Amino acid sequence: MTFEFKKQEIEDLVISFIVLTLVFSRFNIKIIPYVAVGIFTAFIFHEIAHRQVARKYGYYAIYRRWDTGIMLALFLGILSKLLGLRFLFVAVGAVQVYSLYVGWEDREAYGKISLAGPVTNILVGIIAIALLSFGKPSGVVGVSLYYAAYINLLLAFFNLLPIPPLDGYKVLKWNPGYWAVAIGTAFLLQSLL
């Protein structure tokens, strides 16, 4: 399994990463470094998990930013900050999966591809919570771990909502049991923060 990236894919990931970091930090320069750790472990790992599982199944998969989503995220993030709201829009792109056989879709493969991102977020969230709970880190490390746990679990839960085109819709279509366990776990773990 290869981790080869195209130049455009790297550019799309970097732009999406920067926009998400700005929006999640609420444009607060003091917390941008901590939020960046959370976004890197949540967003980048999430998208790479989708991509790599799709490639494991023999699909061509690549991350593409969504420019309309990028603009909406920034506009709504700025508006939310100015109005004192807590609203975030985070749909800035997605891994696009292509099959050699147009119109052919393996429901199980697509379900597992869709589940890979949120499960990665849940695992990172569990590791961050464990390190926070047992290691009792403070300062930069503690704040970075908190944001890593918070953002990963928030994105896992959000992406598992059963609304098209989110991951949860595809997972639920494939296997309601796996969907229920995943969204329930993401919701439960958020309560530990």
Answer yes or no: 47 catalytic.
Answer: yes
The beta strand positions in the chain, using DSSP E, are 60-65, 93-98
Query: What does the alpha-carbon distance between residue 193 and residue 190 come to, in Å, rounded to a whole number?
Result: 6
**Catalytically annotated residue among 9, 47, 105, 108:** 47
Query: What does the alpha-carbon distance between residue 145 and residue 133 come to, in Å, rounded to a whole number?
Result: 10
Which residues is 21 bridged to in the sheet?
none
Distances (CA, A) of 132 to 48, 68, 96, 108: 25, 37, 35, 35
> What are the residue numbers of the active site?
47
